Amino acid sequence: MKERGTHIGVNTIRNIAQRFSLRAQATTAAEPYLCDESVSGYRVVVSTDGGRVRIRKNKRGPKSPKGRSRYSTEWKEPKLLAIYAIGPDGRMDRNFHPFIDGTMKGPDAVFDLIQYYLGNLDITNATKILFIADGARWIWNRVGSLMQSLGIKPSQYHELVDFYHAVEHLAKVAELRKGWNKKERKRWIKKQRRQLLNGDTDKVIEAIRAICRGRHSKKLTTEKNYFIQNRGRMCYETLKKTNFPIGSGAIESAVRRVINLRFKGASIYWLEQTVEAMIKLRAFYKAGRWQVLKKLAFSSSLDSFETSY
């Protein structure tokens, strides 16, 4: 801005961004979502995943010889959500902008956000709902209670483990099996992959159980249990027939665009409150909902916000 006659420092820009984001968050907490959209009649996909951000925490004690605060850094996992509609062909419906949002506050907080959005989008009238994610237990331990709290019947939704994550676990099994050469491993993975797609998950489990021996038996058992625990979330054949996605590429793309390309990198550290605010700004921008965020931030219901900030 200096070339236009106005100089704005980094701290000022940061404070403006934080205040803008906090105003939007305050509006969503105080009143229903300022949006007249509904997913009634749509087929809806819901997903969540985590990224990685390095958080900076200032240390107590004397400053460095150059007068700078000493600090430590640690990796933390921001959680991101994506909600979008798909058409009859299984592709994302471009007439319905997706919802992307995130938080640094952990699994419960991101599921509260999912519940908030779905509750305001008339989700109970969606034609069908698919919740797709990787095999992380923090996700699947919460999906059932989420759907129940929203009044969604078990017949209205599917839970699905991302197919390509499942194939990665097959590759881990093949790698642990000693005595196989590269060609034999590749042949085994291809066979089990085909069986997963055909809905023969039990055959895959039996194939893994058959090789659970030797010094890697404990690790092989862990991989076998992954498929046993997620057996009901591997109905790939059924969903492919109805043109539902079987991969969680949308949420992985969101993590890359929102988190990785801006907040993650060599020698990049963030204060937690700053990255919390910035995630919301970037998520709405990438989802094509910047005008909605402005409407939230400048809501008339926040007349007393600046005083309390």
pLDDT in tens, 85-109: 999 999 999 889 999 999 999 999 9
Using the Cα atoms of residue 238, residue 241, residue 244 and residue 249 in order, give the sign of their dihedral: positive
Do the bridges between strand 99-103 and strand 79-86 make them parallel or antiparallel, or are there none, so unpaired?
Answer: antiparallel
Domain residue ranges in the chain: 34-161+247-271, 163-246
Percent of the chain residues topping a pLDDT of 90 = 69
Q: What is the pTM of this model?
A: 0.90
Pick the CATH number of 34-161+247-271 from 3.30.310, 3.30.420, 3.90.350, 3.10.450: 3.30.420
Residue 239, pLDDT > 90, answer: yes
DSSP string, 189-238: HHHHHHHHHTT-HHHHHHHHHTT--STTHHHHHHHHHHHHHTGGG--HHH
- What is the identity of the amino acid at 195? Q
Residue 281 token pair: 């700004």
**How would you class 252 by CB atoms within 10 Å of its CB: exposed for 0-12, middle for 13-18, buried for 19 or more?**
buried
Distance CA 176, CA 266 (A): 33
**How would you class 114 by CB atoms within 10 Å of its CB: exposed for 0-12, middle for 13-18, buried for 19 or more?**
buried
The single residue listed with the structure tokens 């921001």 is 78
- Quick: pLDDT tens for 46-78: 999 999 999 998 888 888 888 888 888 899 999
